[in-house]
Structure 1
């Protein structure tokens, strides 16, 4: 459910280096702006990051911004789409790796836990960071969040259904409902961990996940 600001910054550095021209400016300016934006938005939110700060950090003129994004709202939608494109690829790798379905789904949730705990207890999930802020602010951004979250839930649904087929998870009547409940649990736990600066909500989400998937008694 998360992607760290540090990971986004590293991805930006790699893309910027790979795309640089002889004059040192990135060839893909649009992607460069999006890569620079993610760590800023993860730290401070959407409305707190002004256009001047973003452009100064990215090192691009205002005209370049409006060439690629018609407005800050369109830019925010693009940031979320870019975030979920990368995040869904990460989910595919976690859920599509080796092992039975139970092992794969718990690998995903283990990753969720690992990326949300640490010395700096802050949201590393852009959906958590921006969700409440932008849903009333921008319909396109709300829709981008909704599409991205639906993509995560759809992947979890398939893995839970696979578990019933391979026998690693109990059969359930509605895998999609279970997947939605699990995502909602982790989304809420991530927000509560951010508020409390405590990992306890995430540990509770992990325990609840194992219980809901019928894995609580397994070692």
Structure 2
């Protein structure tokens, strides 16, 4: 295996391992040595891949959003479904992801958003960029739904997309707090109302 490929694979292994651990423990509670040990990577090699813990956190969030948006795009591009059906399939996938493991979820925005936004401007900006990309996809699907008449909204598609995303983030936090799916059920019902379904 070429060295460049091996380096890329090792870097990806570190990021994926960190994502899994930090989705449960948070950012500050996880040390670099814990991540490297779980990834099976020698301790001294961290700075070969990342210049600092902040640079590592930013790279982890970028990797997370790239994977998230790819999964989102796959759901929102399904053929044979209206825009409304595709959008509701996205929210259903969100519900299933956030209800995993006793409502512990796997959304790094939910888990790390408030924490890292206060710790690192670079990570805050990465979160802002990533969440804006998600809202862009929701807005585009709402616009498609208006065109195919599978949904209707009383406000600008961007404003509705932002409100929906914000509501689902909040519902996911409440799901974790209450260890209950009720906030996600409420979010689903309100989503249907906002989209005229």
> Which interval holds the TM-score relative to the shorter structure?
over 0.9
In structure 2, the residue corresponding to 1:49 is in which secondary structure? Answer: coil
How many residue pairs match? The answer is 194
1:123-157 CA-partner distances (Å, limit 9, x unpaired): 32111000011101000111111111001100000
2:118 aligned with 1:136: yes
Q: Do the aligned partners of residues 200 and 52 (structure 1) sit closer, same or farther apart at CA in structure 2, a change above 3 Å counting?
A: same
| CA distance in 1 between partners of 2:10 and 2:74 (Å) | 28
1:47-106 CA-partner distances (Å, limit 9, x unpaired): 111111111111222332101111001000000000000000011011111211111111
In structure 2, the residue matched to 1:80 is 61
1:115 CA displacement:
1.6
| CA distance in 2 between partners of 1:197 and 1:111 (Å) | 18
CA contact (8 A) 1:164 1:172 kept: no
| CA distance in 1 between partners of 2:173 and 2:63 (Å) | 22
| Comparing 57-66 and 91-100, the one that deviates more | 57-66
| CA distance in 2 between partners of 1:148 and 1:50 (Å) | 24
CA contact (8 A) 1:123 1:191 kept: no
| CA distance in 2 between partners of 1:27 and 1:156 (Å) | 31
Calculate the aligned-residue CA RMSD, in Å: 1.8
Normalising by structure 2, what TM-score? 0.93
In structure 2, the residue corresponding to 1:80 is in which secondary structure? Answer: helix
In structure 1, the residue matched to 2:195 is 213
Q: Give structure 2 stretches of 5+ with no counterpart.
A: none
1:5-46 CA-partner distances (Å, limit 9, x unpaired): xxxxxxxxxxxxxx899xxx8862111111111111011011
2:135 aligned with 1:169: no
1:40 to 15, 18, 21: 21
2:74 aligned with 1:90: no
**Larger helix proportion, structure 1 or 2?**
2
| CA distance in 2 between partners of 1:134 and 1:192 (Å) | 19
Q: Give structure 1 stretches of 5+ with no counterpart.
A: 1-18
